[in-house]
Amino acid sequence: MQAARKKLEPVERFHPRVEANLMVKVLQGGRTLLAKARDLSMAGLCLVEDPGIEGERLAVAIPLPGNREVLTPATVRRKTDGALALEFDPLDWEDLIALARYLNPRLK
């Protein structure tokens, strides 16, 4: 008897993504790499291309207006056609509010 296979459904997003034409810093293994973010949400971001990430854990620094930078650990969730999808670890309150203030006026 063959085990029933579950049909894979597309991931449903809880947080809407906004276009982000931002250069972010990716920190991993003592290296700092610059990468362009294609989109950004409260839960993660997508890099236009893989800047040479090894493994699944890294940190990302996102520049925001007013000399504010959100620095958070993240997990690589997908690599597709050179793009790299990252999911943030839970943000602290200050970073959460700063990111929400940045994203809110950009939601369509």
The CATH number of 18-106, from 2.40.10.220, 1.25.40.340, 2.102.10.10, 1.10.268.10, is 2.40.10.220
Domain spans of the chain, in order of start: 18-106
Task: Count CB atoms within 10 A of the CB of residue 62.
Answer: 22
Chain-centroid distance, C-alpha 1: 42
Q: What is the pLDDT of residues 35-93, one digit of tens each?
A: 999 999 999 999 998 888 888 999 999 999 989 999 999 999 998 888 999 999 999 99
List Cα–Cα distances, 105 to 46, 64, 95, 99, in angstroms. Answer: 19, 13, 17, 11
Structure tokens at 59: 């940190």
Helix%, strand%, coil% for the chain, nearest 5 = 15, 50, 40
Rounded distance, CA 62 to CA 58, Å?
Answer: 13
**Quick one: pLDDT at residue 14?**
64
What are the backbone angles phi and psi of residue 97, rounded to the nearest 5°?
A: -65, -45
pLDDT of 7 above 70: no
Q: Across residues 22-35, what is the average pLDDT?
A: 94
pTM above 0.85, yes or no: no
